[in-house]
Amino acid sequence: MDRSPRTELKWEIKTGLYAVAFLDLLGKRDAMREMTAVYEQAFRADPKSFSSGEKNDRWTEPLSKLREAIRGTAIAIESFFGLHGHIAACSEQARQEFIQSLPPSKRDEADANSSAKIHHTRLSDGLVLFMQNKPTGEHSPMVALYNLISTCAYLAVLQMADGHPLRGGIDVGIAAEVQRQSGDSDIYGPAFINAYDLESKKAEYARIVIGDGLISSVNEFAQNKLEAPLFKVQRHVARQIHDLLVVAPDGAMMIDFLGKAFRKDSPGAIERDDVRQAHNFVKQEWHRWAGDSSEKGRKLFERYSRLEEYFEARLSLWT
């Protein structure tokens, strides 16, 4: 088979500062492991029957369990990605409606200063969102970062309300964006690794933690004195971003997804019923793991206890 040498592939590589969010649906990898365990148990009992194609009742139950596990996991994952798409579409629609409400002479400037290019890519049961952190005439990084953080907050609450919590990390750092011939983009480098490490090592429970690089970047834009319209917008929105974050009792900076900044009415915003359902899920999991003395049970009980404390501290805003 003839194929072009790899050196002839025309991929565009951009390097610079990027904001990267790594979001992971909790529990889905355990579900995948359970699928594997069901298969392996049946296969070890009768390794030849499945590959022979002969009807064998031994496989009826494990294959049925496998289909159900896949169905539940796949639906949760696809709903997650679908919800992200819906929120992104609502955000862009609201931006366009705002621009059209302005006098024609102001629309081009408003469009340039509010345009936010946020890319996304899938990783099994994970979602990666990323964006350049440099202002241009077609990209407003602080507006994009505000939208990215808001999107993560909405996803956190709505996924929890649906019984499928997520955990995440967001940071700003050096990275390389690789745009393939298909037009899709991937992200590589320290910013991606930092976001992944924040999710996998620091977040611990269903929350989205923020890295030092992001805080430094926001502070830099907030303190910028340039008076060009693009930079004035960056400064104003950077100061608003601080309202989306809070320092948790363990010292980690996290998205304050039940805080005052998200207690508003706007497309894609969190509603009272969403918070109530999410809280019910947290309480259900807290009670579930309270009676489990295993190492896993003790760990999850402690984590849901911390999440319950956060909800209790914010519920008065939503009643």
250-276 pLDDT tens trace: 999 999 999 998 887 554 578 899 999
Q: Which residues contact 91 (CB under 8 A, 6 or more apart)?
A: 147, 150, 151, 267, 268
Alpha helices in the chain (DSSP H): 28-45, 47-52, 60-100, 104-114, 141-161, 190-197, 212-222, 229-241, 272-290, 295-314
Question: 11-26+88-258 belongs to which CATH class?
Answer: alpha beta
Threshold 0.85, pTM exceeds: no
Assign 193 a pLDDT band (cuts: 50, 70, 90): very high
**42-56, 80-94, 122-136: least confidently modelled range:** 42-56
Residue range 104-120, pLDDT digits in tens: 877 777 777 777 788 88
What residue segments make up the domains of the chain, in order of their start? 11-26+88-258, 271-319
Kindly state the percentage of the chain with pLDDT values over 90: 41
User: Phi and psi at residue 46, in whole multiples of 5°?
Assistant: -155, 80
Q: Is 47 helix (H, G, I), strand (E, B) or coil?
A: helix
